[in-house]
Amino acid sequence: MNYKRMNILILGAAGKIGKLLTDDLLAQTKNDLVLYAKNADKRLKLKKSERVKIVDGDFKDLDTLISAMDRIDVVYINDMGDDQSTDTIVEAMNKSGVKRVIAASILGIYDEVPGAFGQWNKRMIGNSPRMKAQIKSALAIEGSELDYTLLRLSWLYDEQGNKNYSLTQKGELFKGTQVTREAVAKLITDIITAEDERYIKKSLGVSEPNTDWDKPSFY
């Protein structure tokens, strides 16, 4: 692929999606990666490569985040379930002069999930502290001056080889009850390698096509 070579910072690189994304970017692009996680050296020792730098850090550690963002083109945030951490990441990006961020959130932050599945989703996570933190985090990202792409992920599962995803825009009703982590990693890679600005300043609902059910298949 003839994409511009970039430096990508993956925050939460030891998570399942973070590891899948690392593999995809190493295989499909020439980008250099900074993998950021708690206990990173131990948890990411198999990810070492000439194109990979590993940073041990916490999302609330402003100085470590700023250092990790040196010469970074794109930041991916794997989890926004702690709004104080999200605020710190935004502050670090502002101080580092990094503008481009892709951030993983969850469905339902706009009360955009309709029907029986929407009711099920509310029973499962609607009033949880994590949902409230996700809402605050999304507001922080959307209210910033960053070039953001917010991903509102449906319920996640694993299925090797299943990289199918469909997208809805902010203001549209959410469609689909589930999506694979493999598909999410592919979407993030597609966004990073896009040669236009179609994903900039967008909040995207992310699900698997043809899964408009009352609840995910694994429940």
Instruction: Check which CATH number belongs to the domain holding 154 and give it.
Output: 3.40.50.720
Per-residue pLDDT of the chain in tens (219 residues, 90 and over written 9): 445 789 999 999 999 999 999 999 999 999 999 999 999 988 987 766 899 999 999 999 999 999 999 999 999 999 999 999 999 999 999 999 999 999 999 999 999 999 999 999 999 999 899 999 999 999 999 999 999 999 999 999 999 999 999 999 999 999 999 999 999 999 999 999 998 999 999 999 999 999 999 999 999
Strands (E), the chain: 7-11, 32-37, 52-56, 74-77, 100-106, 147-153, 155-157, 166-169, 178-180, 202-207
Chain mean position to CA 70: 20
| 217 falls within a domain | no
Which positions ≥6 away from 190 have C-beta within 8 Å?
none
Q: What is the largest CA-CA distance in the chain?
A: 49
| 215 falls within a domain | no
| 219 falls within a domain | no
Question: Which residues form the domain of 15?
Answer: 7-207
- Number of domains within the chain: 1
SS3 136: helix
Q: Which residues are registered as beta bridge partners of 55?
A: 36
- Lookup result for tokens 């991916």: 76
CA distance 64 to 62: 6
| 2 falls within a domain | no
Find out whether 168 and 205 touch, Cβ atoms under 8 Å: yes
Among the listed residues 73, 58, 56, the one whose alpha carbon sits nearest the alpha carbon of residue 9: 73
Find out whether 119 and 73 touch, Cβ atoms under 8 Å: no
| 218 falls within a domain | no
* Stated pTM of the model: 0.96
| 125 falls within a domain | yes
